[in-house]
Amino acid sequence: MLKKLELYDAHHLHKHLIDPSVYPYVRYKAMNMDEYLFVTKQVIEKEQQGEVIMRVILDEQANPIGQIALYDMIGNSGFLGTWLGAPYHGKGYNRVAKETFFAELFYELGMESIFMKIRTTNEKSKRAALKLPYVEDITHSNALISQLVNATDVQYDVFEIRKDVYELFYPNTMEA
């Protein structure tokens, strides 16, 4: 379902990310293949330096169909970013990818908190986030994070997934 980003994944992913319904939500954008290869190489280097954690979302045939990442990391927390190719929307890939990624972040990589920012106008994504029982809307309860996230013209609602709450639903079965 997930794998580490490799340079050759760019060829499969680029065709999905340039779709007009996907492109606005992609953090590491590129309109042409050469540019995307360069961006992909930079992201791989950022991961090696501990600045981002990036995984490729795969379909049942192991074809790259999107990405999920933790970025803007501070200490044991960071912001979640995810996108899927348009043909894969609404088919459950995003939820499975998140659950797999969260388990890796919390149980293998020692993260304590994951933040999600969703545009205030994106009702579909907000509803999807709130379907997850371990997600908390902190837009109004954490003024500092909300102010930081909303320091631009685009306004966001902010959600948090804390490890201690996540563990209530998905306990770490790997611990002794």
Q: In percent, how much of the chain has pLDDT > 90?
A: 68
Residue pLDDT, tens place only, 71-87: 999 889 999 999 999 99
- Per-residue confidence (pLDDT) for residue 143, from 0 to 100: 82
Residue pLDDT, tens place only, 83-112: 999 999 989 998 899 989 999 999 999 999
Quote the CA–CA distance of 14 and 118 in Å, as a whole number.
23
* Contacts with 120 (C-beta within 8 Å, 6 or more apart), sequence order: 155, 156, 157
Torsion sign (Cα): 162, 164, 165, 168 = positive
| pTM metric for this prediction | 0.89
How many CB atoms sit inside 10 A of residue 146's CB?
18
Tell me the domains of the chain and their CATH numbers: 2-169 (3.40.630.30)
The stretches in the chain having pLDDT less than 50 are 176
